[in-house]
Every structure is written in structure tokens, then in C-alpha cells.
């Protein structure tokens, strides 16, 4: 029996060249300072298709990131093999270990209780993720 490995966590690294104010679904109007953002997501199956969807600009608005995506440039995508429960831990790692900040509370976190899955990072490049799940 073949096991499908196209599942797990991902980080979509999005750079905003200038500040953006946009309406994000039920969150309403949100302001995003310029900078590098990590959006932590998960896919129980077809992770590659989910990421490909996030990369497209022409699509129905479904997830919070869909509202912000047209305003920035995707600079990288990182993959992590972890169950869906790791999504909140990975976002927390970006805050606690990498010096990130959750700018919009609950962004990407409508199905959990953590502060948010979109993190503004202080650097110009995505940080290494070595040891995030230890």
C-alpha cells in the first residue's frame, strides 16, 4: 500500500514592500506593516495543491491569506513534516525563537485558540527552522 506524503505543515513567506490595509473576511479591516511575513498552514492531504493555490492570484477568497496574498510577493515556501496540531507550535516558534510578532490577532487561526498563524519577522530572509519541533 502506497503512503501519501503530500501532507503536513508549510510556511508561505510573503514580503510586503509597503504597508497595506485591507479587509480580511470576518476579521474586517486589517493593517499590515511592510516586511517579511510567515503564514503557517497545514494540509491533511494534497499539500502541494494547497501551496499552488496560495501562489495563484486569481482565485475565490476562502482563507485569510487569500485576502493578503495579492498585496505581497511570495519569496519562499518551507515545508515541515508534522501533524496538524503542530501548526500552532510552529507559529509560536516564529514568535518565541525568531523574534516575530503576530500583527493581526486570529489571522489564519479561526479553527484554534492560538494568537494567530501570520507572523511578521524582523529579518529580510526566512529564518532557519532547525530544531523547531524538538
> What is the domain extent for residue 97?
8-121
Residue 2 has pLDDT above 80, yes or no: no
Q: Residue 1: is its pLDDT beyond 80?
A: no
Whether 83 is in a domain gets the answer: yes
**Which pLDDT score is estimated for 121?**
96
Structurally, how many domains does the chain consist of? 1
Mean pLDDT of 14-39: 97
CB 69 within 8 A of CB 58: no
Whose cell is 493581526? That residue is 104
Over the stretch 56-111, which tens digit does the pLDDT of each residue have? 999 999 999 999 999 999 999 999 877 667 899 999 999 999 999 999 999 999 88
In a domain, 98, yes or no: yes
CA dihedral over 132, 64, 75, 48, signed as positive or negative: positive
Answer yes or no: is 133 within a domain.
no
What's the mean pLDDT in 19-38?
97
Is there a domain that residue 134 lies in? no
Give the range among 8-17, 36-45, 109-118, 125-134 with minimum mean pLDDT.
Answer: 125-134
Q: What is the pLDDT of residue 111?
A: 85
Task: Quote the pTM value.
Answer: 0.92
Residue 15 lies in a domain: yes
Q: Residue 27 falls within a domain, yes or no?
A: yes
For residues 41-58, give the mean pLDDT.
92
2: in domain: no
Residue 128 lies in a domain: no
Reported as a single tens digit per residue, the pLDDT across 114-134 is: 999 999 999 889 988 877 775
Amino acid at each position: 500500500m502506497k503512503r501519501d506524503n503530500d501532507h503536513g505543515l508549510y510556511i508561505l513567506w510573503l514580503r510586503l514592500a509597503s504597508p497595506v490595509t485591507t479587509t480580511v473576511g470576518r476579521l474586517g479591516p486589517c493593517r499590515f506593516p511592510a516586511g517579511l511575513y510567515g503564514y503557517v498552514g497545514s494540509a491533511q492531504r494534497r499539500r502541494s495543491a494547497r501551496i499552488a493555490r496560495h501562489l495563484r492570484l486569481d482565485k475565490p477568497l476562502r482563507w485569510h491569506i487569500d485576502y493578503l496574498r495579492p498585496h505581497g510577493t511570495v519569496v519562499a515556501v518551507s515545508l515541515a513534516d508534522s501533524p496538524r496540531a503542530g501548526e500552532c507550535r510552529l507559529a509560536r516558534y516564529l514568535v518565541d525563537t525568531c523574534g516575530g510578532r503576530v500583527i493581526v490577532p486570529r489571522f489564519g487561526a479561526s479553527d484554534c485558540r492560538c494568537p494567530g498563524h501570520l507572523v511578521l519577522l524582523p529579518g529580510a530572509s526566512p529564518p532557519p527552522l532547525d530544531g523547531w519541533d524538538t
